[in-house]
Amino acid sequence: MAFSLAPFADVGLNEALLELVIDEHRTQRLARLTKWWAYFRNASRAGWGPGEVHGGGGSKGLAQEAGLPARLTGRASAAVDDRALTRREIVIENDIAWRIQTMVDFMFGKPVRIESTAPDAGRAALIGQVLDAVWEASGGISLLQDMALLGHVHGHVDLLLRADGLAPGRADGASILERAGELRIEVVEPTRGIPILDPNDYREIRAYVIHFERTMNEAEREGVAKRIVRSTIGRRDATPSRRRSEVIEIISATHHQRYEDGALVESRPIRPGVGRVPVVHIQNLGQPFRYEGLGEVEPLVPLQDELNTRLSDRASRVTMQSFKMYLAKGIEGFGSVPVGPGQIWSTDNTEAEVIAFGGDASSPSEQTHIEQVREALDKVSGVPPLASGVVRARIGNLSSATALRVTLMGLIAKTMRKRVTYGRGISEMSRMVLDTLDAAGVFETSPDERGVRLEWPDPVPVDVRDRVFEARAKADLGVPEDRVLAELGEGEGDAGVT
């Protein structure tokens, strides 16, 4: 593959470095990121890999089965342990997914208000409408939820501002909102985004590479030899596949290039430019001196594997002990005799004997261990079952809202901590939007008008009477009526970013 990277010489990007960062991403980070997503989704796999042995229960499995021991999945070699060749009952209880979804709901389950801090009230209102138009055109609350989900799973996520469709030229009146909608804020998942950082400052992005493969609407082209080999395989494997295309995008503060299957298909300067790469990086939880943030899935994986292992062991034990089994001694043909009520067995052997064994038995230590693993998952994630609506004990004698806050203190504290990182990302992207519109001459703003303030909703349900009392107090203090009504959910606004 030949690259024409002369426009990126100012950031030190050459062909050798580009190939190196793509290879590092593919070999060092991609497998880890893919694993975290697989544990979150726990999707059904199409079949077992080559050489894996499975029982008669079918060939499909779940992604989290990869963390189970071979004695359960039957993937061990017969030379090591022939008992492992039989696939036992598998129980997968995905405790990761509902915890991640609950965290996202606490973050962006309700609209977030983006308000301008411009000194002039009229300008602040107009700037707020412009920002709202851009965020809504990009997806609104769905965009924020996707951003939070990818950040929680992978530990970080990037926002890319695309201004390809923004034509320079001043806009007036209502046309400003229409022109602002020409900008697009795009979420870049960590499996595709590769930052090229400043060696002296890990927080500064000098260039940004997007690398991925996409499935095309055409069959894969094959040579004669490949068709002959494919025709000798089974019918299922002989089905031709769709062609996959490799895409590489390179973005700097001044230039943008796009390669498809090694061919340069687009190369243009970035106009209007704002003097920096149009990418905002967001860490889920801050990790000092590292570009990557801390995700929520990684620390839960060992506990999830332990929980699935113990649940599968318990299922096997229950299966073995829930049914009576019989050991017949000295009775010929017992294996072909049915066992049932009123059934008579006869033999001339005076030493014959039928021994019954099995039947369910309690295992307190097993149940205690499973509960302790669940409690460990609660502590590591900070998400108790109560957050998803499961009430397993009395909340207490406090008022409902206060009791909920005490019970969910860990989740609320973690949510407030994330609002710092995600809120900074939303604010930086909003400022970048205003910078871009100003540079294009579409909507001119001064630097002191480009600051924003976020109004986060309360993640815990609040009594309506308390909210009305709080609204009255704010109105008495001089808070604008439209803002008070919007906070109550009675004002104008949409279900997304407002």
Half-sphere exposure of 10 (CA within 13 A, CB side): 10
- C-alpha 166/C-alpha 435 separation (Å) is 13
Please provide the distance, in angstroms rounded to a whole number, between the alpha carbons at the two ends of the chain.
Answer: 45
Distance (Å, whole) CA 66 – CA 52: 12
Residue 478 token pair: 């001089």
Could you tell me which residues come within 8 angstroms of residue 92 by beta carbon, excluding any fewer than 6 positions away? 42, 62, 64, 65, 308, 311
**What is the C-alpha to C-alpha distance for residues 181 and 175, in angstroms, rounded to an integer?**
10
The confidence score (pLDDT) of residue 328 equals 81
Nearest to 63 by CA among 84, 102, 99, 94: 94
Place of tokens 């010929």: 332
Which residue shows structure tokens 């919007």? 486
**The tokens 């829930």 sit on which residue?**
322
Distance from C-alpha of 4 to C-alpha of 52, rounded to nearest angstrom: 45
Largest CA distance in the chain: 107
Distances (CA, A) of 420 to 160, 401, 415, 423, 487: 19, 24, 9, 5, 21
Give the helix ranges, DSSP H, for 67-162.
70-73, 95-108, 121-137, 141-154
Under 8 Å between Cβ of 182 and 136: no
Per-residue pLDDT, 53:
40
Helices and strands (DSSP H and E) totals, the chain: 14, 14
DSSP letter at 30? H
Residue 60 is predicted with a pLDDT of 57
The predicted pLDDT at position 54 comes to 40
The reported pTM is 0.82
Give the pLDDT confidence score for residue 47 in this predicted structure: 46
Task: Give residue 495's pLDDT.
Answer: 40
**Regions of the chain where pLDDT drops below 50:** 47-59, 84, 235-237, 398, 493-495
d(Cα 11, Cα 197) in Å, to the nearest integer? Answer: 10
